[in-house]
Amino acid sequence: MEYDETKPIPDSEVGIMDSDFNVEHLKPTNRISSINIGGSIFSTPSVSKDLVIFGCNDTFIYALDMNGEKRWSFKANDIVFSSPTCFGEYVVAGSNDGFVYCLDLSGELKWKFNAGAKVYGTATIIDGLVYIGSANGIFRALSLEDGNEIWRKNLGNEFWFSSAGVNNSLVVGNYNGSVHCLSKDGEILWKFQAGNYTVSNPLIIDRNNNEVSSFTKRSFETFPKAQGCKVIFGSGDGFLRCMNMETGELVWKTFTNWVGGSASFLYDKKVFIGAYDGKLYSLDTSGNIRWKFQTGNKIVPSPFVSDGIVFVGSSDSNLYALSSESGELVWRFLTDGEIISSPIAHNDIVYFGSWDGHFYALSIKERSLLWKFATSISYPSFITRPHTEDLKAPIQRPIEFRPTSTLKGYQIEGTMNQLGERTSMFYGSLSPAYKSNDAYRSKRDKY
């Protein structure tokens, strides 16, 4: 049955919308493959020394200084969804062109490896090896020094994000819902099958509920050592699960209604994760939900917590700042596009990319926009609708900027959204979560 876009959405479904048709009654399709080249940013930034580095749908990897000025850019041959992983003088990222790239901090290519399929995933670097998966279902270990393949393991379906490691073993999920634990030499130690895809990055905690390895903590000199470890991950069947890291046995599971790419973040022995129901969840390490916060659309990116404030982006185009203790809204910042890039905070500045083609730097204490960087293409990436014969691109709102330039001060101007709010602006704790009137809505589609 076709979903009628002209009818009001029931209150129970408010906030679950997207720029794709409802595909609930059809075969699930990987939406990443239907995203075209444009100025949009999917990649999560990394900070190394005085650089903030991220990939872009315009096919470039960018390195900006802390003032938002471009130090260098490296061109791949296709979209760069992959989030760069930094270790020492190395930067490793994949591309939809099928290559894994290793650069130095000056932007020079050290080596590239042909994976034979798109590399959406993010590298984990441990003990001189780069662990990374690709869309052909192969998970690899590559030499960080020269890119030579050390071993490979075909695990059956595409990999979207990163692995986590402890005690000479790694855990990684893929699109067919399986979670594998591998030895550092590629031997399968155990496997768990979830009810739907497991593209949420795993979080490993020790017996004292301290973080060991995660999406934000993914490069190490040697394998971390810890006792009594557990691994936490979300999946598309709606559950956040905690498993025994050694045996793969289930410790607990909590229903959080459709976890996509959002990774769990640990702060003050509390777990934070976003879901496609538009909610950010806070749980204790026993799986009990402490609070939920409703945004105006699905949450694809991972949250980041700094000094008691949770930062999370939503497909309602807002970056939210919430109290980590209570879940109350501190402020929200409205951009001109979905926020799928996960934020990171560094030295009282939060960095993130938007689908509107800009990379943003916000002062946390002053609640001010320090700068935004325009990528090389002045229009957002178009997300195709693979199940429809009448394929028409939606009319894009005008987004005017100078390509690959940093906008500051009086140069920063936003557009008006459907509710009359100006983008590139902060809105206070009394303002509601943004509910868009966008024409493209769906009940519960696959990202």
Range in 15-19, 98-102, 155-159, 280-284 the model is least confident about: 15-19
DSSP 8-state symbol, 422: B
Residue whose token pair is 């020394």: 49
Most confident of 2-11, 251-260, 290-299, 398-407: 290-299
Res. 176: pLDDT tops 80: yes
- Fill in the amino acid letter for 231: V
68 versus 388: which is more confidently predicted? 68
| Cβ-defined contacts of 243-249 (< 8 Å, 24+) | 243/179, 243/192, 245/166, 245/167, 245/169, 245/171, 245/181, 245/204, 247/190, 248/179, 248/181, 248/189, 248/190, 248/191, 248/192
Smallest CA-to-CA distance from 307 within 330, 333, 291, 340 is with: 330
Res. 361: pLDDT tops 60: yes
Domain 11-428 has CATH 3.40.630.30: no
Read off the pLDDT band of 372 (50, 70, 90).
very high
What mean pLDDT, rounded, does the chain reach? 85
Indicate the burial class of 2 (C-beta count within 10 angstroms; 0-12, 13-18, 19 or more): exposed
Res. 441: pLDDT tops 70: no
53 in Cβ contact with 61 (< 8 Å): yes
Over residues 352-356, the mean pLDDT reads: 95
Question: Tens digit of pLDDT for each residue in 277-303?
Answer: 899 999 999 999 999 999 988 899 999
Percentage of the residues of the chain whose pLDDT score is greater than 70: 85
Range in 24-28, 127-131, 341-345, 442-446 the model is least confident about: 442-446
Radius of gyration of the chain (CA): 20
Distance of CA 293 to the CA centre of its chain: 19
DSSP 8-state symbol, 394: P
Distance of CA 111 to the CA centre of its chain: 25
Those residues whose C-beta lies under 8 Å from the C-beta of residue 141, and which sit 6 or more positions away, are 129, 130, 131, 149, 150, 151, 152, 184, 186
**How is residue 232 written in tokens?**
């936490």
Q: How many CA atoms lie within 13 A of 334 on its CB side?
A: 23
Indicate the burial class of 427 (C-beta count within 10 angstroms; 0-12, 13-18, 19 or more): middle
442 versus 404: which is more confidently predicted? 404
Smallest CA-to-CA distance from 311 within 102, 202, 207, 301 is with: 301
Res. 401: pLDDT tops 80: no
Percentage of the residues of the chain whose pLDDT score is greater than 90: 66
Over residues 135-140, the mean pLDDT reads: 91
Range in 26-40, 83-97, 111-125 the model is least confident about: 26-40
d(CA 40, CA 273): 23
Helix, strand, coil share (%) of the chain residues, nearest 5:
0, 40, 60
Indicate the burial class of 123 (C-beta count within 10 angstroms; 0-12, 13-18, 19 or more): buried
**How is residue 219 written in tokens?**
């490069």
The reported pLDDT for the residue numbered 197 is 77
